[in-house]
A and B are shown apart, each in its own frame.
Chain A
């Protein structure tokens, strides 16, 4: 069964450094998402992406964050200058369309030192 894949599984970065998290959504899916889950807390929506542009974003997704679909398969989340509070599990998800299941990757655990 097709699945969403994320790399790396764990990223350790110094505060202030840039980090790029990578995702390969399911190949025929059209909508892509990033969510995060701080340890012990709820999964929170960050941003959705459709037709090569951001369709929705949350208050968390400030100017430090950006997303890109550089080619036909990858979907990336960049954090420009990481802060301690960016430490979390970051999940990528994709879906075929409206009112369809969102399928999640296994996540990237981001640790900011």
Chain B
């Protein structure tokens, strides 16, 4: 299976704290993308990191990629209650352009 797996499955933190979510995958990839999904809603694209990149930032988001370990992490700094959602990693395998999604991390930020 090429699908990513997120860890932890659920995370509960206080507002203002940082949240770290991890993703592992199994095959070589073109890129890895992180998405956010509010309950019952669509998938919002957060950030894409290519296989030749090691770290990317976007606002309060920081993503790292370690292709030797086939893993990625998403860090949300200074979390807010509005960050409460499920976060998914999705990998685009080498030679393909479709995405394989992980199981997601359910983040709850307590005000």
Residues of A within 8 A of B45 (CB): 101-104
Per-residue interface assignment for chain B, residues 30 to 49, with 1 indicating a CB less than 8 Å from any chain A CB and 0 otherwise: 11010100001111110010
B85 contacts chain A at the CB level, 8 A cutoff: no
Asked if B97 and A56 make an inter-chain contact with CB atoms under 8 angstroms apart, the answer reads yes
Number of A-B contacts (CB under 8 A): 58
Which partner residue on chain B sits nearest A105 by CB separation? B42
Residue contact A95 to B101, C-beta cutoff 8 Å: no
Interface 9-residue window, one of A40-48, A64-72, A79-87: A40-48
Taking the complex as formed, is A74 at the interface, i.e. its CB lies under 8 A from any CB of chain B? no
A33 on the B face (CB < 8 A): yes
* Most chain B CB within a 10 A radius of its CB, from A43, A98, A99: A43
Task: Knowing A42-B102, A106-B41, A107-B42, say if A101 contacts B33 (CB, 8 Å).
Answer: yes
Interface of A is mostly: strand
Cα–Cα, bound, A35→B3 (Å): 14
What residues of chain B lie closer than 8 Å to A33, measured between beta carbons? 98-99
A106 touching B42 by the CB < 8 A rule? yes
Is the C-beta of A75 less than 8 angstroms from some C-beta in chain B?
no
Instruction: Tell me the bound Cα distance from A100 to B104 in angstroms.
Output: 21
Contact B41 A56 (CB under 8 A): no
CB contact under 8 A between A91 and B103, given known A42-B3, A99-B30: no
